[in-house]
Amino acid sequence: MTREIHLSTPLSIKDIDQLVIGDKVFISGVIYTARDTAHKMMMLLLDKGAPLPFDISGQIIYYVGPTPAQPGRPVGSAGPTTSYRMDVYASRLIEKGLKGMIGKGPRSSEVIEAMKKWGCVYFGATGGAGALLSLAIKQAEIIAFEDLGTEAVRRLEVKDFPVVVINDIRGNDLYQENVRKYQTCSFEKI
């Protein structure tokens, strides 16, 4: 049975420990955006010993580059990008305290191991539904790397942002679980 859970950021280990794959989660509070180039820039900051553009502890990064806002809206369409492109950077941010990531598609085994070791979850947002997802975004502000345009790091204030738990902190994987489920399904009974 699918559960519905409402969470507010920043997230604690207690918040994410309760989550299991398949849970529908509605996030309220502040989340941050970052895509490929922004992640690379954050790694350069860490390499120099400089602070990140925001305190990453307990935070969620949404892999998105929202389109320009229409009048009266904080952002335009805000659909998730493919997460594996951030896999080379994610483990380091998880070790620094990141507690959640939002995107689409599977994650590498290295990222899943880091999530288990340091306590982090991966949420899936529905690809192709960026216009609908943007309705949960109440405010947006560029806080770093403005020269990256849509890929700049933004601070988003969200209300009931809808996601599904894809990877929990125990290493369970919704994608793999569903593959197993359907491999054992007898289509003769359908």
Active-site positions? 39
> What residues contact residue 168 under an 8 Å CB cut-off, 6+ apart?
16, 19, 20, 21, 121
Backbone angles phi, psi at 29, to 5 degrees: 120, -145
Backbone angles phi, psi at 148, to 5 degrees: -80, 0
Report d(CA 81, CA 96) in Å as an integer. 23
The enclosing H or E element of 103 equals strand 100-103
Type of residue at 88: V
